[in-house]
Structure 1
Amino acid sequence: MSPESRRIARVLLDSPLPQLDRLFDYALPAELGEVDRGVRVRVPLRTAGRVIDGYIVDIDTEDDADRPLSEVESVVSPVPVLPERLHTLARRVADRAAGSASDVLRLVIPKRQVRVEKAWTADASAVVPSVDALAAAAEITGTYDGLDEVLDEGGRAAVEAIPQLSDDVPGWTRLLGATAARMLAAGKSSILVVPDHRDLDRLLAALASLVPAEAIVRHDSRQTNPDRYRAFLRTLEDAPCIVVGNRSAVYAPVRAGLVAIWDDGDSLLGEPLAPYVHARDAALVRRELEGSALLFAGHTRTTEVERLVEIGWLRDVRAARRILPRVLLSTPQEMEQPTAQRMPSSAFLAARNAAAEGPVLIQVSRPGFAPSLVCAECRAPARCAHCGGPLGARHRGAVPVCGWCGRGASSWSCPVCSSTKVRLASSGSERTADELGRAFPGVRVIVADGAHPVERVGGKPALVVATRGAEPLAEGGYRAVVLLDGPRMLQAPDLRIGESCLRWWSNAAALAAPGAPIHLVGVNGAVAKALATWNHSAYARSELESRAPLHMPPTTRVALVQGSVPAVGRALAALDELSLPPDAVLGPVPVDSDDVPPRVRALVRFDYGAGPRVATALRAAVVAEAVSGRRARGRATKSTLSVRLDILDPEL
């Protein structure tokens, strides 16, 4: 380096402000010594007059030593926590979602733990599964046509998991575990992403019998900060491992040979924080960058995955010998019987007979005793006088309680007819358990919901009343499954409620013992037919066909633009040069809020090919709004304009 040159660091600032989402040049003073790319640093921010954290993305030299540059103040840690591959992934994901790279990195890089960092040494040695475990893994993957080929060639596939238990664990856990074990034996890392902690614990239990414990890296929000940082440091090492975690695990900085996502239709895989990127979309971007094998596995098929299958981007992988659950639909004649109430005679008899042999699963839509009440005279919904929330009952004869503010309504009166009496309008898990306990004397009744979590039940006779997604595992599988409240579930105001219901019911059916009857009560039509025939891909295709004329996702991408009236107007005007279709923009319409000045929102629909141009234009509008707002107010503030891409359930 010549006397006139100097070292410079290009730093990505850890800031949510959109105008700071770029690399800044800083001079590297000689007293800092050798500095690696990817380390945490603290740098001055002249416009704000303060010091801010950041990451060194690149180090270079320049001959123009006279250019005024601020200096890096200090190196926070010598550990390169931002390798180039992670920065590239975060940058690409943020650009696709019109967001900031620092927001993506905040999901994957934990806060520094000094003690953990000092004790850490990057000397993990490679481990491989045992011969017996590899044989078991090969047997599992071999039951699916073409799966081994996809794994070996780094392909892409949508896998329909066999809906049954295997050694009292869900079969899908052994499927994902087998694919990861195969990759580990080949010296490659894997990332297995699941929706919630219940799925995570079950997958970890399945992996324990297939791979050595030291090869498993858990990525979980329930971990303590030291444990999470220790796990993150392990993913920075070159030794292959298996990362198992929730949605943010998809960004783990391993050199992945496989990324697998289970049940991508679960809403928990959608990131609730900016830039709101679904784990499925992040996995697609990662596969494009790294060329790793990619699997979307599930009992059902989302419309997003089915679209990729239809265009030939994903391979449809199914078991060579399909084992279908025995699904029975209630007939209209049964539901018209006055004695049927919630459970028709066929389902009741099946539950009674099965309860004599082992556990029976009863799936309901809501937790609690009576989630909603109505006026006993005019049937008008009972609402809280303070906030307008729905009133419910915690047990029979209890004082009604508001589901929103929690206030009791001991002196409630109907605003329509002035009656002071209420009646139960719906049955939650506890009320259903109470009713079934009287109908099945001598049979143990177990409630499993958010307030009463149950992970596993034995093989003795019992009735398990569970809300959707909270169903425990049963020893030997459930001897019968009854799916109640189907019509109520389908009435939810959601674009993809049919898709969601099919997923809830299918996941519950997969917990049944082989040959056990599965009764879907009160539902007919396309969703019921898809469950009875176990042809989920056909239902997903029909959903795609119905959404295409309406230009609804996933046939097109949808962006939500929200902010003040002038800001939204300027953002939409920036799209005029992109030659979008005349009906691409819906709105703007007022936002139902008390904000001053008033806010509006609009939807922008566009093809996938126009995605980069639309994302760039909307991001530029957000940055311009933030900069103009800062100049007007004289200080750094959050932008009054917000943009969110890939809305799954667009609604104005």
Structure 2
Amino acid sequence: MTGRRIARVLIDSPLPQLDRLFDYAIPDELATAAVPGVRVRVPLRTAGRVVDGYIVETVEADDSGEVEDSPPRPLSELDAVVSSVAVLPARLYALARRVADRAAGSASDILRLAIPKRMVRVEKAWCAGDPPSAAPVTAAAAAWARAELQDFPGLADALTDGRRIAVDAPPVPVELPSGETTGRWATLLAAAAAHVLAAGRSVVVVVPDHRDLDSVAAALEGLIPASALVRDDADQSGPARYGAYLRRLADAPCVVIGNRSAVYAPVHDLGLVAIWDDGDPLLAEPLSPGVHARDAALVRQELDGGALLLLGHTRTTDVERLVTVGWVRDLAARRRVSPRVVLSPPDARGARIPSAAWAAARSALADGPVLVQVARPGYAPALVCADCRRPARCPHCTGPLRARRPGATPECAWCGRAATGWTCGNCGSDKVRMASSGSERTADELGRAFPGVRIVVADGAHAVLRVDARPALVIATRGAEPIADGGYRAVLLLDGERMLMSEDLRIGESCLRWWSNAAALARPGAPVHLAGVVGPVARALATWSQPAYARGELAERAPLRMPPAVRVAAIEGVPTAVASALSTLREAVPALPEDAVVGPVAVGDDSAVHRALVRFEYAQGRAVAESLRASVVHAALTSRRSAHERGPRARNTLKVRLDVLEPEL
């Protein structure tokens, strides 16, 4: 007599205590449809309801109904198979499980990022159509890709052999066959993708935002078959995104380009994962368990093989640490290319734009557009008392006051209320003055200084992706700089000292990345003026030695035990739960040094919530993650009210996050 088949199901739930596989009996009517990877509905006895899940694997039970390595017990049956499409392949579950375990999180949280919501019509159309076939790369495209990669000796072999490599992108704009201008980094990624696809393997390219996606897509146009290019964009409609996901599940190789969640794309025979500009905060996942795309890519490369390419105009300390320990190999270009950076010291008269930068902008405007990078959007992002210089605060919520235009009534940046009749709480004055210049105020000032010159503002409120080659002053906030046809004839980097005043641990890295990305938009030979900044960051930009700066930062953080020299976990919750988690951690990882734990302290003014930081070595990561995860599950179970208890159900009393980028109590 043949035993029954058992389905092991991962339940789609945010509850940490449900982050494991549950066994369910497969009824006879679902025996054919219940295969690994499909969506199912299953009963959850503890909740008294039916929930969603995925079949991870199926096993055979013996005649008594017992499963090997499982205790004998009665099993509930699957309620329904939602779809016949196996949307969770084994390789994706293995990746989600490994990434979640590293971050002390739940696999279902990772899968929620990776697998889009089901679209029935799209799925039916996909099942009715013919499966995609492999689309070969033309010989001409493959030859172009090999030639393009020759600028970096050993890069083509490293991609073929599946190595981990870090490359500094040449900071120059290039013109595509279509006549469109893009960064050299995009054509380098396109060449790497075409080279790997020509070998019959899939590629995943992860970039921060939609503008980078457009650049990579433009560089790939005409280079690889259109049927092999799959876009994973957060701006896509639900049907489009689900259709793209189904294409990634096919056995035919493809090139996936997308945002941070694309790192989990379950492609066939992965040959390359490429990350562009890993220092961009958009690649840090804000949702639990908060895994950075770079870290997920490292885990995936170790699991699935293939090459890992970390590309950027700057080098983050995270990547430099990997290079230092030998986990990632640094590949240098055959010929060093760098922009012409001019350091303009602070003006003795206190002018915002030094005279040399003024002269460079005036000269460059005769030939084409000039980029002016500023720190903030708006007109006057901050106001101060005209008499005592204290920051002007809203009388209702104490938020900072701002001005949208000269002479306008100040309004609060937080609550939006107009501060009519405002008076200073320190000196009683009713007058304010502008303490900073945003993008709009800078445009107003430069418009008066350069009459007749076209002014373009690019910031969060004014999205500008490209500008033509006609003379113009382009005032852009950091990260919002549009691409100019043929490159900018000059670049002015303003407000550098103000940017560096931030208390963020990585502010030096961030400023260097903002300035380097803006400098890379300049035409070869065009001047790049950094105004009013001196020190290591300015020297790194002027000498274009970003890896050396990252090494220096890493060396300074090591004795202080700050990331990424060590890993940092943040534990937050009620005092008893935090104390219990720290005590359990000490027992589980006795090798932790005495100063490993910082805190706990009360969060803000709320004494009911405490927060602690734990600093630990990378070799201790697995033990720390397992201990903290066990504490989260224990806290979740003990916080549940009993059936006879009245009142609202207690919320989860403990939260844990690993690899905190900006540790603060």
- TM-score where L is the length of structure 2: 0.95
Q: Which residue in 2 is equivalent to 1:119?
A: 125
Residue 76 (structure 2) aligned to one of 70, 74, 80: 70
Q: Distance in 2 between matches of 1:109 and 1:217?
A: 15
Question: Does 1:582 pair with 2:594?
Answer: yes
Question: Does 1:647 pair with 2:660?
Answer: yes
- Summarize deviations over 1:484-542 as a string: whole Å, max 9, x none: 00000000110000000000000000000010000000111100000000000100000
Query: Is residue 215–residue 241 contact of structure 1 (8 Å, CA) maintained in 2?
Result: yes
Gaps of 5+ in 1: none
Q: Distance in 2 between matches of 1:88 and 1:473?
A: 40
Q: Distance in 1 between matches of 2:513 and 2:287?
A: 25
Q: Distance in 2 between matches of 1:241 and 1:374?
A: 55
Q: Which residue in 2 is equivalent to 1:306?
A: 320
Question: Does 1:135 pair with 2:143?
Answer: yes
Moved more, 321-330 or 125-134: 125-134
- Summarize deviations over 1:174-195 as a string: whole Å, max 9, x none: 0111100011110000000000
Displacement, 1:473?
A: 0.6
Structure 1: which amino acid aligns with 2:232?
Answer: H
What is the 5 A alignment of 1:548-587? Answer: 548-577=558-587, 578-579=589-590, 580-587=592-599
Q: Which residue in 2 is equivalent to 1:241?
A: 254
- Summarize deviations over 1:304-362 as a string: whole Å, max 9, x none: 00001111111111210111100000135xx11x2x51000000000000011100000
Q: Which residue in 2 is equivalent to 1:399?
A: 409
Query: Is residue 207–residue 213 contact of structure 2 (8 Å, CA) maintained in 1?
Result: yes
Q: Which residue in 1 is equivalent to 2:242?
A: 229
Q: Which residue in 2 is equivalent to 1:161?
A: 169
Q: Distance in 2 between matches of 1:209 and 1:395?
A: 47
- Summarize deviations over 1:102-134 as a string: whole Å, max 9, x none: 000000101111111111046101112222222
What is the 5 A alignment of 1:485-504? Answer: 485-504=495-514
Query: Is residue 161–residue 318 contact of structure 1 (8 Å, CA) maintained in 2?
Result: no
Displacement, 1:292?
A: 1.3
Q: Which residue in 1 is equivalent to 2:331?
A: 317
Structure 1: which amino acid aligns with 2:174?
Answer: S
Q: Which residue in 1 is equivalent to 2:100?
A: 94
Residue 276 (structure 1) aligned to one of 290, 293, 296: 290
Moved more, 198-207 or 236-245: 198-207
Q: Distance in 2 between matches of 1:128 and 1:206?
A: 18
What is the 5 A alignment of 1:319-468? Answer: 319-332=333-346, 335-336=347-348, 338=349, 341-468=351-478
Q: Distance in 2 between matches of 1:113 and 1:637?
A: 35
Structure 1: which amino acid aligns with 2:343?
Answer: L
Q: Which residue in 1 is equivalent to 2:524?
A: 514
Question: Does 1:148 pair with 2:162?
Answer: no
Question: Does 1:186 pair with 2:199?
Answer: yes
Query: Is residue 17–residue 638 contact of structure 1 (8 Å, CA) maintained in 2?
Result: no
Q: Distance in 2 between matches of 1:377 and 1:130?
A: 70
Query: Is residue 626–residue 637 contact of structure 1 (8 Å, CA) maintained in 2?
Result: no
Query: Is residue 459–residue 477 contact of structure 2 (8 Å, CA) maintained in 1?
Result: yes
Displacement, 1:593?
A: 4.8
Q: Which residue in 2 is equivalent to 1:292?
A: 306
Structure 1: which amino acid aligns with 2:286?
Answer: P
Q: Which residue in 1 is equivalent to 2:533?
A: 523
Q: Which residue in 2 is equivalent to 1:58?
A: 57
Query: Is residue 641–residue 650 contact of structure 2 (8 Å, CA) maintained in 1?
Result: no
Q: Distance in 2 between matches of 1:100 and 1:631?
A: 23
Q: Distance in 1 between matches of 2:521 and 2:143?
A: 26
Q: Which residue in 2 is equivalent to 1:25?
A: 23
Displacement, 1:136?
A: 2.0
Q: Distance in 1 between matches of 2:138 and 2:7?
A: 46
Q: Distance in 1 between matches of 2:174 and 2:366?
A: 23
Q: Which residue in 1 is equivalent to 2:42?
A: 43
Aligned with 2:245: secondary structure?
Answer: helix
Structure 1: which amino acid aligns with 2:322?
Answer: L
Q: Distance in 2 between matches of 1:65 and 1:203?
A: 54
Question: Does 1:108 pair with 2:114?
Answer: yes
Structure 1: which amino acid aligns with 2:416?
Answer: G
Q: Distance in 1 between matches of 2:222 and 2:552?
A: 40
Query: Is residue 48–residue 636 contact of structure 1 (8 Å, CA) maintained in 2?
Result: no
Displacement, 1:632?
A: 4.5
Query: Is residue 39–residue 87 contact of structure 2 (8 Å, CA) maintained in 1?
Result: yes
- TM-score where L is the length of structure 1: 0.97
Displacement, 1:638?
A: 4.5
Query: Root-mean-square deviation (CA), in Å?
Result: 1.2
Q: Distance in 1 between matches of 2:137 and 2:432?
A: 62
Aligned with 2:273: secondary structure?
Answer: strand
Residue 207 (structure 1) aligned to one of 190, 203, 220: 220
Structure 1: which amino acid aligns with 2:523?
Answer: A
Displacement, 1:417?
A: 0.6
Aligned with 1:296: secondary structure?
Answer: strand
- Summarize deviations over 1:552-585 as a string: whole Å, max 9, x none: 0001000000000000000000111211100000
Aligned length: 644
Q: Distance in 2 between matches of 1:54 and 1:288?
A: 27
Q: Distance in 2 between matches of 1:164 and 1:209?
A: 22
Gaps of 5+ in 2: 67-72, 176-180
Displacement, 1:368?
A: 0.4
Structure 1: which amino acid aligns with 2:50?
Answer: V
Residue 15 (structure 1) aligned to one of 13, 16, 26: 13
